[in-house]
Every structure is written in C-alpha cells, then in structure tokens.
Amino acid sequence: MRTLLPANAKVFYYSNIKKHTDNQTLLLYGRRVTDRQVYNFFINDFFPYFAVPLDEQNMRKIIALENTKVIVKHEMFADDEGKKTFHDQYNNPLVVIYTRTTKDHEVARGAFGNTFEDDVLYGRVFRKSKNIYGFFAIPEIETIFKRRPIHVDRKGHEIDVPYYIISHEQVIGF
C-alpha cells in the first residue's frame, strides 16, 4: 500500500532513533533524500505503552497507578458498534496503558502479572506504530528548535545539524 505524502513533505532516509536523556523524548535521526543533510527531530508526545487483560483486579491497579501519576492514561479500543477491538491470542479484551517515562513503564509493568508488548524497546514501538522501515516524511517545518554547534561526520568534517521539535502525528512512515 502506498502512502500519499503532502506536496510540501520532506522525505528522509531513516537513520536511527533513541531515547533522549529525559527518558521521555525520542530523538529521531534522518538524512534528507535530496541533499543528504542530517536532521534530528525531538518527539516529546509519544508515550511508552503496554497492554493488560481487561478485568476488575487490573482496573483497580490501573486506577491506583493513575492516582500516583505513574500512568498517564489508559484506553480500551472499540469499533463503531462498541465491541472491544484490542485482544490477546485467546480473544480476551485488553486495556492499553500509557506511561510518562520508560522508568514509569517499568514500575507500572511490575504491578501486573500478565502483560503484552511490554518488552519491546521504546524506539521500536514508535517505528512500528509509524511504519518506519527505511524512509519517513515530515511536512514542511520552518521553525528550528536549536542548532548543535559542532557535529563531526564520518570523514571528520564539522557540520551544523538542525534540531526540530515535532509531534509524533507529523511523522509519516512508509
């Protein structure tokens, strides 16, 4: 299936993704296809998540963890008719739990016995959710967040690498 890109979108080769030092922000590295210039994108609105079976005991734990601010939110996905759509391999409904940081993710995960998708690395979860396998696109961005003064490329040349703050919704993977 082909992804339709906005006319003003910039296309990048996927280079790398890693957690920033605050354990919440992702740093997405890419090289623009047209001129091979390196770009870095801060993504600070994508939260680590995992799923647990939907039952009364787990819901009590979720509410208790939300009160301590470990859990940001939880969701139960349903279709238009109200049927639960996120299931385990036995067709039991699941609740998706979002945490603020990866450290909170570990704390919340430890409170539940049976969890799903909790062992996938944060950067890989983002790549999977956005379908980034080789290329990604970002609509035209004009505001530069900051510039790192010195970055040395593989040949030893100093280059200026622009950093941008973007929403995870702006990333179009293909």
DSSP secondary structure letters along 122-166: HHHHHHHHHT-SSEEEE-------EEEEEEE-TTS-EEEEEEEEE
Residue whose token pair is 């690498």? 161
Looking at the chain, how many residues does it have? 174
Of residues 113, 88, 97, the one with CA closest to residue 47: 97
Cβ-in-10-Å burial (0-12, 13-18, 19+) of 132 comes to buried
- pLDDT tens per residue, range 74-84: 887 655 565 55
pLDDT for the residue 150: 47
- pLDDT tens per residue, range 44-101: 888 888 889 888 999 899 989 888 888 788 887 655 565 556 777 888 888 888 888 8
* AA letter at 116: F
Q: Which two tokens stand for residue 40?
A: 């870095």
- pLDDT tens per residue, range 146-173: 544 445 566 766 656 667 778 888 888 8
pLDDT for the residue 4: 67
CATH numbers and ranges of domains, the chain: 10-45+126-173 (2.40.50), 49-122 (3.30.70)
Q: Which two tokens stand for residue 95?
A: 């609740």
pLDDT for the residue 121: 82
**Contacts for 126 with CB less than 8 Å, ≥ 6 apart:** 17, 26, 28, 43, 46, 132, 168
What is the model's pTM?
A: 0.70
- What is residue 62's DSSP assignment? H
